[in-house]
Amino acid sequence: MIFELDNVELYFKNKRVLNGIYLKAETGKVTSILGRNGCGKSSLMNIAFGYLKPKFKLVRLNNKPLLKPLYLTGSAKYLPQYNFIPNGMKLSFIFKLYKLSWNNFIENFNNFSIYKNSKIKALSGGERRILETYITLKAKSDIVFLDEPFSHLSPLHIEVVKEIIDIEKKQKAIIISDHMYEHIIESSDDIYLLKNGTTKKIEKLTELEDYKYLSEGCLITS
């Protein structure tokens, strides 16, 4: 699967947020979007998924224009920044709903074993994020969008999520945005920097310093 987002122009009232976007993601690769707070990363993901309608956009799947919102095709999954699983749902029911194995989940996150018959509201904020990230990554799809999958997770859990990303990318195109740039750099095959409303594909990591996304020296220690 090749997913392309092209020619996006987004305004909120008179403020132009995105203009001149190109992004390509494909099966077998993790494609990441980096950028400062408020530069439009979440808006871009919402546009790609079809939740947000900009003034202009072009989505192509396997080089063919897609004329309906991507989420209606059933081929994509999206982890937004907000919680998307209702509070009252039992964890065992969620795994049935998404046709996923509870035992495989416990192999990765054994501290969840006590929660099988609990409702999601019994989880901490970070545990809930782990569960929603896992479901989004593992559920059947061709394209996965992850908006800040690492930000609320403890270091060991981040490593487990990175391992799952590495496995899932073999059969999916995965698109990630997060401020934890070291994890992004380690997990990504392609990186785009979103700045002044446009995407720039990063060919050399030092460009992240040249474009003032990272301060000088950050890459030496990372």
Ligand X SMILES: Nc1ncnc2c1ncn2[C@@H]1O[C@H](COP(=O)(O)OP(=O)(O)OP(=O)(O)O)[C@@H](O)[C@H]1O
Which residues are within 8 A (CB) of 113 and not within 5 positions of it... i.e. 6 or more apart? 106
Residues in the chain: 222
Binding segment (CB under 6 A) for ligand X, from list 36-44, 135-143, 184-192, 208-216: 36-44
User: Collapsing DSSP states into helix, strand and coil, what is residue 62?
Assistant: coil
> Which helix (DSSP H) or strand (DSSP E) does residue 114 occupy?
none
- Which alpha helices (H) appear in 14-124, and where do they start and end? 41-49, 91-97, 102-108
Comparing CB distances to ligand X, the nearer of 15 and 64 is: 15
Distance in Å, CB of 10 to ligand X, minimum = 8
Half-sphere exposure of 72 toward its Cβ, with a 13 Å CA cutoff?
6
Asked if 149 interacts with ligand X (CB under 6 A), we say no
Asked if 39 interacts with ligand X (CB under 6 A), we say yes
Comparing CB distances to ligand X, the nearer of 46 and 136 is: 46
Asked if 35 interacts with ligand X (CB under 6 A), we say yes
Asked if 42 interacts with ligand X (CB under 6 A), we say yes
Asked if 17 interacts with ligand X (CB under 6 A), we say yes
Distance in Å, CB of 217 to ligand X, minimum = 22
Report the distance separating Cα 209 and Cα 216, nearest Å.
6
Distance in Å, CB of 146 to ligand X, minimum = 13
